[in-house]
Amino acid sequence: MIKIHVLRVGSTQVDEALPFSNKSKNKLAFTGIFRGKKHQINVPVTSYLIEHPKGLILIDTGWDTEIRTHPLKYEGIANYFASPGKLPANEAVSEQLEKLGYQSSDIDYVILTHMDIDHVGGIRLVKDAKHILASQKELQAASKLNPRYLRRLYKNIKIETFPNTEYDLFDDVSVILLPLPGHSEGMTGIKITGDWNKFVVIAGDCGYGRDSYEKLILPGITWNKKAELASLKKLQNLALDKNCQYVYLTHDEEQYQHKEVIL
Ligand SMILES: [Zn+2]
């Protein structure tokens, strides 16, 4: 039996045009520049804990508790003004794990869907996990100078890599790491399959909600639009499979209606 817990690890503020870019006529709207506060929306940031018979897996880490006291220093000026994060009491990934009776050293694998700040920002809080993994391509991209990646957050933490092809974590098809490039170069989704072939997909920032993959709406920020469209089509096909129970996306509020799933 596999059990998945959906954990709210704070929120982030973005321009309303960012999630579904094709809906906005203003091409630069997603950046939030000159748009004012009334266009800002708050979206959740999410981690997922998977209790699997072969190991405990955490997907993504949300924010560090430092954001509560020194937000500007922690996020850096560009991130702080573009999409400031919030981390209410008891929502840090370590606090959420504790509520479920775990500490970070219990985790066998932390899997990072990609290296954006709202996904790796809490990595320090789970640095005692046995393995921390990201895709080869994503880690390579994140090691170059690029304002979207804050290397200081993970510079002293050992991150192992997996190849950029479909990767079977336990060699039994129950946890497959799926390349979903587009939002970022090495974006990875996780397909988790239980008994009777029922599965869910955790797709990070490949989309922002059901409309992303059902209507193929690109988000405002993409590393590569063509790759992103292909990844959304892949997600669309997975969602149409009769065995697919749900597609989880980091910033989608709807997923909290499916907070605990048993496969
Ligand atoms: Zn994100």
The tens digit of pLDDT for each residue in 79-101 reads 888 889 999 999 999 999 999 99
Task: Give me the pLDDT at residue 208, please.
Answer: 92
In terms of Cβ atoms closer than 10 Å to its own Cβ (0-12, 13-18, 19+), residue 145 is exposed
Confidence of residue 19 (pLDDT cuts 50, 70, 90): confident
Q: Does domain 3-262 have CATH number 3.40.50.300?
A: no
Separation of CA 130 and ligand 1 centre (Å): 24
Distance CA 61, CA 46 (A): 8
Separation of CA 219 and ligand 1 centre (Å): 11
The residue extents of the domains of the chain are: 3-262
Separation of CA 244 and ligand 1 centre (Å): 23
Distance CA 200, CA 192 (A): 5
What is the tens place of the pLDDT at every residue in 207-219? 999 999 999 999 8
What is the tens place of the pLDDT at every residue in 99-141? 999 999 999 999 999 999 999 999 999 999 999 999 999 999 9
First to last CA, the chain: 6
Separation of CA 156 and ligand 1 centre (Å): 22
**Nearest CA among 188, 70, 189 for reference residue 138:** 188
Separation of CA 62 and ligand 1 centre (Å): 9
Query: pTM value?
Result: 0.93
